[in-house]
Amino acid sequence: MLKETTAMHPALFQPSKPLLLILAAMLASTFPTATLAAPPQLVGATQKGAGVFVQTCSACHGMEALHYSDLARLAPSLAPQVEAMAKARHQNMDGSITSPYPDGAAARAANWGDAPPDLSNIAATIKGGWYYIQAMLTDYRPAPRGVSMVPGNFYNPIAMTHHRHFHMKAPFAGLSPAEANQKAADVTAFLRWSANPHRTTAHVVAWWGLGWCALMAALIGGMLACLPRRKPPAKT
Ligand code: HEC
C-alpha cells in the first residue's frame, strides 16, 4: 500500500531541489538572535561618545533618564570611571545621572546665567536635532571684529541660530580639528542613542521580521509548487 502511495506521489517523498533550498534558508534564518546587536561601527561611536560625556560634558550636564549602570553596561571599559563619578556624587550605580549642580540657581550662577540643559533626550527635542548638536559642538570661533560679546558669552554661529547669547564654552578647545570632529561625532551618536536607546534593535528586528515574512511566503509557494498535481479527469 505504502509502495503504491510512493509511486503515486513521488514528489512528496523525494525532496525536490527548491524544497531543499527553502529548508536550508529556514535553517539559516534561525540565527537572527546572533545579529540583534547594533552594527559594530555604531556601537563603537556610541561607546566612545559615552566616554566623551563622562570625561567632558558631565562636568556641567546631567542625563537624568540614564543611570550610572546604563553607562557601564553600554561601555564596559568605562565602568571604573563611571563608578568613580557616581561615588564623587554620593550616588550608587543605580542612581540617575542628575545635574552636577545642587539646584538651578547654582547651575546658572556657575554658567553666566544659563543653566546647562539635561542631555537625556536632547537629540530628540532640540530644534535641528542631532545634526544641530554635532555642528554646534565644532563651530566655536573668535568673535568677528565689531561684534561685542557679553561676559562669558562664546561666539558660535550655529548656536547663534538658537540664541542671542551662547554661554557654553568650547568643550574640545585645544584639540586638533580632526580630534574635535571625531569627539563631536561620537558624543552625538551617544546622545542619539540615549534619546532612543532601542532604535537600532528595533530596526534590526523589523528587517528580520520582513525577511521572515518573505521566507514564509516563499516556503508556502514552494510547497504548493511541489505538491503533485492531479490530472484533470479524462474527458469522455
Ligand atoms: C563648562 C560647562 C559645560 C560643558 C563642559 C558642556 N556644556 Fe553644554 N551647555 C553648557 C551651558 C551653560 C549651556 C546653555 C547655553 C546657553 O543656553 O546659552 C549648554 C548647552 C548645551 C546644549 C544645548 C545647546 C542649545 O543650543 O540650546 C547642548 C546640546 C550641549 N550643551 C551639549 C554639550 C555636550 C555634548 C558637551 C560635551 C561634549 C557639553 N555640552 C559640555 C555648559 C557646558
pLDDT (average), residues 84-108: 95
Atom of ligand 1 nearest to the CA of 166: 18
Cβ pair 100, 58 in contact under 8 A: yes
pLDDT in tens, 179-204: 999 999 999 999 999 998 776 677 77
pLDDT (average), residues 67-74: 95
Q: 143: which 3 cell numbers? A: 568673535
E runs forming strands in the chain = 63-67, 96-97
Question: Which residues does residue 96 pair with via DSSP β-bridges, in sequence order?
Answer: 67
Residue 123: what pLDDT?
Answer: 96
Residues 6+ apart with CB under 8 A from 106: none
> Grid cell 563631536 — which residue?
184
61 is in an annotated binding site: yes
User: Could you tell me the pTM of the whole model?
Assistant: 0.76
pLDDT (average), residues 111-123: 96
Residue 36: what pLDDT?
Answer: 46
pLDDT (average), residues 70-99: 95
Q: What is the CATH number of domain 40-197?
A: 1.10.760.10
Residue 34: what pLDDT?
Answer: 43
Q: 103: which 3 cell numbers? A: 539646584
What is residue 33's DSSP assignment? Answer: G
> What is the overall mean pLDDT for the chain?
86
> Grid cell 549602570 — which residue?
69
pLDDT in tens, 27-66: 666 555 444 445 555 678 999 999 999 999 999 999 999 9
Of all residues in the chain, what percent carry a pLDDT higher than 70? 82
Q: Which residue among 52, 55, 61, 99 is best mutated to probe the pocket of ligand 1, counting the most ligand atoms within 8 A of its Cβ?
A: 61
How far apart CA 97 and CA 10 sit, in angstroms, is 68
Ligand 1: list residues with CB < 6 Å: 52, 56-57, 59-61, 111, 114, 116-117, 119, 122, 133, 137, 159, 162-163, 166-169, 171, 187
How far apart CA 190 and CA 156 sit, in angstroms, is 22
What is residue 95's DSSP assignment? Answer: S
Residues 6+ apart with CB under 8 A from 214: none
Cβ pair 201, 35 in contact under 8 A: no
Residue 133: what pLDDT?
Answer: 98
pLDDT in tens, 79-93: 999 999 999 999 999
Q: 127: which 3 cell numbers? A: 530644534
Closest CA to ligand 1's atom 40: 57
Residue 6: what pLDDT?
Answer: 44
Q: 106: which 3 cell numbers? A: 547654582
Closest CA to ligand 1's atom 26: 159
Cβ pair 84, 114 in contact under 8 A: no
Say how many Å lie between the first and final Cα of the chain, rounded: 29
Residue 25: what pLDDT?
Answer: 67
pLDDT (average), residues 120-143: 96
Residue 29: what pLDDT?
Answer: 61
Q: 96: which 3 cell numbers? A: 540617575
Q: What is the domain partition of the chain in residue ranges?
A: 40-197, 198-229
User: Nearest 10 degrees: CA dihedral of 51, 172, 136, 62?
Assistant: 40
